[in-house]
Each structure stands twice: as C-alpha cells, then as structure tokens.
Amino acid sequence: MYIIAGLGNFGREYVNTRHNIGFEVIDKLAGQENITLLEMKHKAAIGKGMIAGQKCILAKPLTFMNLSGESVRELVDYYKVDETSELIVISDDISLHVGQLRIRKKGSAGGHNGLKNIIAHLGDDAFVRIRVGVGEKPQEWDLVDHVLGHFSTAERKLMDESVGRAAEAVRVILSEGADAAMNQFNKKAAPAEGGQEK
C-alpha cells in the first residue's frame, strides 16, 4: 500500500494559492481515478483506491502546512507503510520555475516548512517527494505573501499543465519506480511569459 500526501492549507482563502499545489495534485488524481476524499482520519482528508494497479491512500493533511508531519506520521504508523518506498509527498517549491517538476527519493526540506515538519516527525529524509515549481519570490515581496498569493493568467495555465504532469508522475512512480519517474519528469520547464528560466 502507498500513501500519497499532497501538502497545503485547508480553507477557502487558500484555494488556488502557490502553497496549495500539493492539494491540487491530490484532487487531480482523485478525479482521474474516481477516488473520493470524504473520510477525515489521522488529521487528514483521505480517500482509498487503486492507482496504476497499487492500493493507495490519497491524503490532504488538515493540520495546516507547517504541521503536516503530524498527519503523515499518523498515516505511516496506522497503515504500516515503509516511508522510504511507500510514501509519496507532493509540495510546492519556490526554488523551481513555475511548472517545473523535481522528483527526489531523499533530501533536505529546502526551506519548505511542510517538508521540514515531515522530516522531523519521521526522523528521516528518505522518502519520495514530488516538488512542483511555483516560481521564485520577487525581491520586494514577503515570502508568506508570495506562497499564499495567486498565479498570473500565464502562470496558471502552466500550473494546470504541471498538476496534470505531477499526477502522471505519481502513476509512473507506482508502476515503474521513482528512478523511472525522475528520468521522465526531472526536466527544465519553459519560462512563463515575463519569467526567467531557473
């Protein structure tokens, strides 16, 4: 069994913000695979189903971003999964260009508070993560304003495409393994209109 956790913040005011891309990928997968996220357990909205021939739990932690590890820890413990091979975490990343994907099997949080909290609760950074680029913070902006802000029309189009690619990357990880997904999806994205290549 796999746990696929997308990170974000619950609440209408956070919908379509940069920080909620993890939630968007989970919603995309749920829609494509006909999985409903109606159960509220382990501090998360969860749904169970089959994806790429594998039993999966889709999860959107309800703890708010900075405490995501509380929910992920409970899920890992309850379902007795091996977090090094059966946990996939999806998050936004401001160090990647808008729409760019980066898949890794381990690594630091890279300044992302949700990932930092998960690493703290698991006691290890060896879990598969899909980072979805949301663009670098403009110099004059506050970081919180940036990650809780919305995309431009051009960026939104790129993000919609990358959410679909991230969902497909999950299926490749489940069917062919993380290395195959890394080879397929860890490519540079074209810069958004007015943006710069990262």
As annotated, the active-site residues are 19
195 — phi, psi (to 5°)? -95, 180
What's the CA gap between 23 and 15, in Å, rounded? 9
Please give the angle made by the CA atoms of 122, 29 and 134, to the nearest 5 degrees: 70
Residue 101: its H or E element: strand 101-104
What's the CA gap between 183 and 185, in Å, rounded? 6
Closest by alpha carbon to 129, among 113, 111, 148, 107? 107
Q: Estimate to the nearest angstrom the gap between the alpha carbon of 195 and the chain centroid.
A: 23
Buried b (16+ CB within 10 A) or exposed e, 116-140: bbbbebbeebebbbbbbbbbbbeee
What's the CA gap between 22 and 156, in Å, rounded? 15
